[in-house]
Amino acid sequence: MPVNDIQYLQGIDTLAYVRLLKNAAKERGQLIPYQTSLDFDPQRDTDTTQTKSGVVPTTASLETDLEVEFVHNISKVSDDLLTSLLDNEEVEVWIVYRKRRNSEGKYYAIYMRGTVSEDENENDPDDNATRDVTFTIKGDPQRGWLELPDDAKEEMDYVFQGLGQVTDSDATGGGTAFVEADAGKGNADGTASASK
């Protein structure tokens, strides 16, 4: 496949979701709000032994470093991260790639379990407060495909809203999102027009 045909991924489209494992039956995984950085670094140390017949490699168990930086905020997931550290509570973590989907419309994701091992807070007077959370991951990360509920999609990509009230019966406040078929449509007098 020519390099020009290979789709690339951007960091802005890679997001972390978290849930306390004990809450798996009660709530869905939550997006960590205002993420600024996500570092996922699985690694396996390899050593070699020199023998008379050549080099014999030895590999260690997989170790995974995971770190998420975000603007500090008031949210349940933000509090859950600190709970994991203070109470040694196990968390589930998903890394979701929102620009990589399969033929069923599911998103590519990496799933892990572990605990928060560090939660660094920076509170400079002339900047937003930030947190840098490091996870200790148990076992090997698992790859797969997942569905995102509609409200999770809206967390990642807000939807067009009208000026009206947002209610249970009108979630967009009377607004309708622009679609590709709308290109070139509309008239000053409000009558329908054909696209040109």
d(CA 27, CA 75): 14
pLDDT of residue 153: 67
Q: How many other β-carbons are positioned within 10 Å of the β-carbon of residue 54?
A: 8
Q: Is the pLDDT of residue 190 over 80?
A: no
Contact 41, 166 (CB under 8 A): no
Over residues 62-71, the pLDDT tens digits come to 889 999 999 9
**Tokens of residue 46, six digits:** 């390899």
pLDDT of residue 159: 47
CA 63 to each of CA 40, 43, 60, 85, 142: distance values in angstroms, whole numbers, following the listed order: 11, 5, 9, 19, 13
- Better-scored residue on pLDDT, 44 or 169: 44
Q: Is the pLDDT of residue 130 over 80?
A: yes
Q: What is the mean pLDDT of the chain?
A: 85
Q: Is the pLDDT of residue 81 over 90?
A: yes
d(CA 14, CA 175): 28
Q: Domain residue spans in the chain?
A: 3-158, 159-196
Amino acid in the structure at residue 8: Y
Question: What CATH number does domain 3-158 carry, 1.10.3470, 3.10.450, 2.30.110, 2.60.40?
Answer: 2.30.110
**Segment 40-56 mean pLDDT:** 84
Q: Residue 12: which residues within 8 A CB-CB, separation 6 or more?
A: none
pTM of the model as a whole: 0.73
